[in-house]
């Protein structure tokens, strides 16, 4: 850090205008101290704040619009105003009682990794421009692929902006491998319409991907699920037979390892066998659930994933690094090269025994996305990650038991920490009425600021959804979520003798409730 003179620096000495691009050491350290104060304050105070709050859209736009960028502004003023806006107008996914989508509290080393990646700003298109960065990402891909069960030395892939880009990559790879002429002549060279299959509970990015690749949204078959919310194998096989009889060309089946709504894992071994039978590609979207591979206790839930031609994993989900950081894993480096092969005179010459990332991925110039995961893994170790993942799963098990004790119905079955639960009184309602009931309950919890959950439809059935995704979440936070849900339920209906059951189940949860 700087000397005593640096400590006394005020905002008035920070250079403005063009000189702000690269200030001297003193002003730079002063600015970083301001940022560090923000990070410290957020970490210390986030749990005491509401998870979210109503937003005044007019006031928000007025505050942002006040910056016309005509004149330079003092950095401390800008930072303070920006932080105030983010605090007031954000659903705080870093909050220990955020039980929403797969948005985690990032690890500290992940934040440091983002900072270093931005500061060094390596150009990730060409190996020769960023040897260290490319080799770090390749090492991570081999590590992740090995945990998924791919053979050592055979893992290929790329880091992506997220699961959607990774899944797009998988579809492009599948089309190229099924029909080599696709890359040059496009869909018109194919013998008929390509068709892909995914669970009706899968992430619907497949529709956007089908649109972007040209096969069309109608080429996506959303296969019904069974009572456990897993892809129905018999319905899938019947659809495959029907499409072939109709002259269509099935080319890819997607198994989901951790559906967005319920965290359910499709029957991966059986899907792999069916794909072999039909001679088509098997891809696993493990954007969320793939993290379980880091835990020896949980990775058995992913059995069969090693048979997939390709796998999607998102580090910015359950691996707790800042967004965005997805990855596409496969064992077909040559297929990736064929899918994205291109050469130009202005790119550096190839280096022997290396692969330029722009020739094996959708992106060209891109951020060093792997560094935040590398730092987080290096410092926590796989054992540290396994401990956290298993603790999340244990907290979810505690929540399930306590919800049942309070009279709720658990509506999903998964080893992953996604808990879906329904009001049993809604069973007699129509689908629309049940959705309104559960939406109102979720809205009540969210508006209280005590926790964040969401309503969800699972195979057409309404429920509430809570995902344990933050490493800051404690047993006390699970207790507060349970209380908030029960309070919302009581407020939505008259008190009855049965409601006493909820009251009796409102004791505190402690670490002793978690299994060893």
Instruction: Tell me how far CA of residue 497 lies from CA of 181, 248, 494, in angstroms.
Output: 69, 59, 10
Contact 183, 340 (CB under 8 A): no
CA-to-CA distance for 134 and 128, rounded, in angstroms? 9
Question: Is the dihedral angle over the CA atoms 94, 97, 103, 104 positive or is it negative?
Answer: positive
Q: Which residue has the tokens 């350290």?
A: 29
The 10 Å Cβ neighbour count of residue 40 is 10
In this model, does residue 234 exceed pLDDT 80? yes
Q: Average of pLDDT values for 338-348?
A: 81
Task: Write the DSSP symbol of residue 18.
Answer: G
Q: What is the pLDDT of residues 470-510, one digit of tens each?
A: 999 999 999 999 999 999 999 987 544 444 444 434 444 44
Sheet with 418-422, side-by-side order of all strands:
409-410, 418-422, 461-467, 454-458
Assessment of whether the complete model's pTM goes beyond 0.85: yes
Q: What is the pLDDT of residues 344-381, one digit of tens each?
A: 767 777 788 888 888 888 888 889 999 999 999 999 99
In this model, does residue 304 exceed pLDDT 60? yes
Question: Is the dihedral angle over the CA atoms 469, 473, 474, 478 positive or is it negative?
Answer: negative
Domain at 383-513: CATH code: 3.90.1150.170
| Percentage of the residues of the chain whose pLDDT score is greater than 90 | 84
CA–chain centroid gap for 505, Å, is: 32
Collapsing DSSP to helix, strand or coil, 282 comes out as strand
- What pLDDT, on a 0 to 100 scale, did the predictor assign at position 501? 45
Collapsing DSSP to helix, strand or coil, 328 comes out as strand
CA-to-CA distance for 502 and 441, rounded, in angstroms? 15
CA-to-CA distance for 60 and 82, rounded, in angstroms? 11
Q: What is the pLDDT of residues 65-95, one digit of tens each?
A: 999 999 999 999 999 999 999 999 999 999 9
CA–chain centroid gap for 460, Å, is: 23
Name which CATH class applies to 113-376.
alpha beta
Contact 267, 237 (CB under 8 A): no
Q: Which of 434, 424, 311, 318 is nearest to 376 (CA)?
A: 318
**Residue 73, C-beta contacts closer than 8 angstroms, at least 6 positions apart:** 16, 67
- What pLDDT, on a 0 to 100 scale, did the predictor assign at position 266? 98
Contact 197, 252 (CB under 8 A): yes
């Amino acid at each position: 850090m700087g000397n005593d003179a640096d400590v006394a620096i005020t905002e008035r000495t920070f250079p403005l205008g063009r000189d702000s691009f690269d200030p001297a050491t003193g002003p730079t350290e002063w600015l970083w101290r301001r940022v560090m104060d923000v990070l410290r304050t957020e970490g210390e105070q986030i749990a005491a704040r509401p998870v979210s709050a109503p937003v005044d859209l007019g006031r928000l736009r007025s505050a942002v619009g006040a910056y016309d960028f005509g004149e330079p502004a003092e950095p401390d003023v800008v930072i303070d105003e920006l932080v105030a806006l983010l605090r007031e107008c954000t659903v705080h996914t870093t909050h220990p009682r955020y039980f929403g989508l797969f948005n985690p509290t990032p690890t500290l080393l992940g934040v440091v990794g983002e900072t270093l990646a931005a500061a060094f700003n390596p150009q990730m298109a060409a190996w020769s421009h960023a040897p260290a960065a490319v080799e770090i990402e390749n090492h991570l891909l081999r590590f992740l692929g090995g945990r998924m069960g791919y053979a050592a030395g055979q893992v290929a892939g790329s880091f992506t902006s997220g699961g959607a880009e990774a899944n797009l990559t998988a579809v492009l790879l599948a089309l190229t491998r099924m029909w080599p002429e696709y890359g040059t002549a496009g869909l018109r060279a194919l013998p008929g319409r390509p068709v892909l299959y995914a669970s009706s509970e899968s992430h619907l990015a497949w529709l956007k991907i089908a649109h972007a690749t040209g096969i069309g949204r109608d080429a996506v078959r959303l296969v019904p699920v069974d009572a456990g919310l897993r892809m129905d194998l018999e319905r899938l096989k019947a659809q495959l037979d029907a499409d072939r009889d109709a002259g269509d060309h099935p080319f890819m089946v997607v198994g989901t390892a951790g559906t967005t709504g319920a965290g359910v894992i499709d029957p991966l071994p059986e899907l792999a066998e069916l794909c072999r039978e039909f001679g088509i590609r098997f891809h696993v979207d493990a954007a969320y659930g793939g993290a379980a591979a880091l835990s020896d206790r949980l990775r058995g839930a992913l059995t069969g994933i090693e048979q997939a031609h390709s796998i999607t994993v998102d580090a910015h989900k359950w691996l707790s690094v800042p967004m965005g950081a997805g990855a596409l894993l496969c064992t077909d480096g040559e297929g990736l090269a064929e899918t994205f092969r291109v050469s130009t005179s202005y790119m550096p010459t190839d280096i022997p025994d290396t692969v330029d990332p722009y020739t094996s991925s959708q992106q060209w110039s891109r951020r060093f996305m792997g560094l935040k995961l590398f730092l987080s893994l290096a410092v926590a170790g796989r054992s540290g990650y396994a401990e956290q993942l298993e603790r999340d799963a244990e907290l979810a098990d505690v929540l399930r038991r306590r919800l049942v004790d309070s009279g709720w119905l658990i509506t999903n079955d998964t080893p992953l920490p996604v808990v879906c639960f329904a009001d049993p009184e809604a069973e007699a309602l129509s689908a629309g009425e049940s959705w309104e009931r559960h939406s109102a309950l979720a809205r009540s919890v969210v508006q209280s600021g005590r926790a964040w959950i969401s309503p969800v439809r699972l195979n057409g059935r309404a429920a509430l959804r809570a995902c344990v995704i933050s490493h800051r979440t404690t047993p006390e936070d699970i207790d507060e979520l349970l209380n908030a849900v029960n309070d919302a339920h009581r407020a939505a209906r008259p008190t009855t003798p049965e409601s006493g059951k909820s009251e009796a189940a409102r004791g505190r949860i402690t670490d002793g409730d978690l299994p060893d």
